[in-house]
Copies of this chain bind each other. A is one copy, B any other.
């Protein structure tokens, strides 16, 4: 059996490193063809020496000499710059591209990979949030599978395997509720980025952890689900489930509900996307209902966490609105992480930014780029 050749974009991040663990556990199934990183040259070099890819790309060109030199004794091509990432995904031998970079930067290489006919393991949710219409259209045109890596979307994907699309009535996205689930509005006023970075169940990168605390992550996932599963937003419900054991659910037209459950381990959805339609054996710990003996559910509070409402509003309007939402959010999260604005200010800046950008009903790729720049500037002006 030919091993699946993978290009991992963002290999030094949380999803990237876990993807490499999955590859390491399944040497008969996967091989690393390319690794790309933004800044973390040390880890990229270490990964390259372990997995011996054909190519590595360091996006930050300042770090090119360092990476080049460190790998000189090995037959590994070293490229630099964001344009090189767009090139690497199109290489003929690449079978699947794992899009594990953070934020909006995932959009361009994802589009290039789809146009080159590569299967996508999508871990960069911003790609679908910003340009879901474009991405899904391109995927259909190029007959490319877009396989979700997010645990929620992987759960939904697993629940609809073998089911007909028309039998799906509703998607139920579960949300942990984040570290501030039980906080009063008064308490929320003074929470710090340090508190927000302590997610109760999942260990993730900084950006997505803040997005989880503000529920923007769930808003993005709702938008992502709309595009991945072709569901109207009103048929996507968010339910707070603090234990994060049920990763999401699907309700069918006969009233039956299917759920996917597991321990909070991203390696499971990563492996599922990489190996689909196969399920590869793992020896990781199993869910134990003597320990996970209570699962609870609550409605999300859209008053305390307005980001969820903003996300629904954006996707209902469609066009470039989710792109504005994402750009403004990237700006406010960065500002919050540097303690420039408060937790509650984040939603306020986003809400103020949304109406300030010209609405474009059917944006082109260039419209998305322009919207992104404009929205960042407007959001920054509020900080």
Q: Can you name the residue of chain B whose Cβ is closest to the Cβ of A292?
A: B297
A282 within 8 A of B: yes
- With A161-B162, A167-B279, A279-B167 given, is the CB distance from A287 to B257 under 8 Å? yes
Within A225-261, the residues touching B (CB, 8 Å) are 239, 246, 249, 251-261
Complex partner residue of A296 from B252, B255, B261, B293, CB under 8 angstroms: B293
A361 adjacent to chain B (CB < 8 Å):
no
How far apart sit A289 and B255, CA to CA, in the bound complex (Å)? 13
Contact mask for chain A residues 5-25; partner B; CB cutoff 8 A; 1 contact, 0 none: 000000000000000000000
Contacts of A290 in B (CB 8 A): 297-299
Least distance between A372 CB and chain B CB atoms (Å): 36
A155 CB, nearest partner CB in chain B, Å: 9
Which residue of chain B lies nearest to A286 when distances are taken between CB atoms in the complex? B255
Interface residue? A187 (CB, 8 A):
no
Which residues of chain A (321-338) have a CB below 8 Å from chain B? none
7 sampled A-B residue pairs with Cβ under 8 A: A158-B256, A158-B258, A162-B163, A163-B279, A254-B281, A259-B259, A294-B295
Residues of B within 8 A of A272 (CB): 254, 256
Q: Nearest B residue to A281 by beta-carbon distance? A: B253
From 159 to 203 in chain A, residues with beta carbon under 8 angstroms from any chain B beta carbon are 159, 161-164, 167, 172
Determine if A262 and B268 form an interchain contact, defined as CB atoms under 8 angstroms apart.
Answer: no
Q: Is A91 an interface residue (CB 8 A)?
A: no
User: Are A263 and B255 in contact, CB atoms less than 8 angstroms apart?
Assistant: yes
